[in-house]
Structure 1
Amino acid sequence: MFTGIIETLGTITNITKEQGNTHLTIKSNFTNELKVDQSVAHNGVCLTVVNIENDEYTVTAIKETLDKTNIGNLSISDFINLERGMKLGDRLDGHIVQGHVDQKAICTNIKKENGSTIFTFTYDPSNNNITIEKGSITVSGVSLTVVNSKKNEFSVAIIPYTIENTTFKYIELGDAVNLEFDVIGKYISRLTNS
Structure 2
Amino acid sequence: MFTGIIEELGEIISLEKEQENLHITIKSNITHELKIDQSVSHNGVCLTVVAIEGDTYRVTAIQETLNKTALGSLKAGQKVNLERAMKLGDRLDGHIVQGHVDQTGICTAIANEEGSWRFTFTYDPSKSNMTIEKGSITIDGTSLTVVDSNKDSFSVAIIPYTYDHTIFNQYTIGTEVNLEFDVVGKYVARLMELRS
Q: What TM-score, normalized by structure 2, do the two folds share? A: 0.98
Q: Which residue of structure 2 aligns with residue 173 of structure 1? A: 173
Matched, 1:48 2:48: yes
CA distance in 2 between counterparts of 1:129 and 1:190 reads 10
The aligned runs of 1:114-129 (5 Å cut-off) are 114-129=114-129
Displacement after TM superposition at 1:188 (Å): 1.1
Q: Which residue of structure 1 aligns with residue 30 of structure 2? A: 30
Displacement after TM superposition at 1:113 (Å): 1.1
Displacement after TM superposition at 1:101 (Å): 0.4
The aligned runs of 1:1-194 (5 Å cut-off) are 1-194=1-194
CA distance in 1 between counterparts of 2:38 and 2:23 reads 15
Aligned amino acid, residue 7 of structure 2: E
CA distance in 2 between counterparts of 1:177 and 1:104 reads 5
Displacement after TM superposition at 1:193 (Å): 2.2
1:48-81 alpha-carbon deviations (Å, 9 max, x no partner): 0000000000000011111111110000000000
1:130-185 alpha-carbon deviations (Å, 9 max, x no partner): 10000000000000000110001000000010000000000000010000000010
1:73-129 alpha-carbon deviations (Å, 9 max, x no partner): 000000000000001111100000000000000000000114110000000001100
Q: What TM-score, normalized by structure 1, do the two folds share? A: 0.99
Aligned amino acid, residue 170 of structure 1: Q
The number of aligned residues is 194
Q: Kindly report structure 1 stretches of 4+ aligned residues shifted beyond 3 Å.
A: none
CA distance in 2 between counterparts of 1:127 and 1:189 reads 12
Give percent identity, aligned residues only.
Answer: 67
Q: Secondary structure at the match of 2:106?
A: strand
Aligned amino acid, residue 162 of structure 1: T
Unaligned runs of at least 5 residues, structure 2 = none
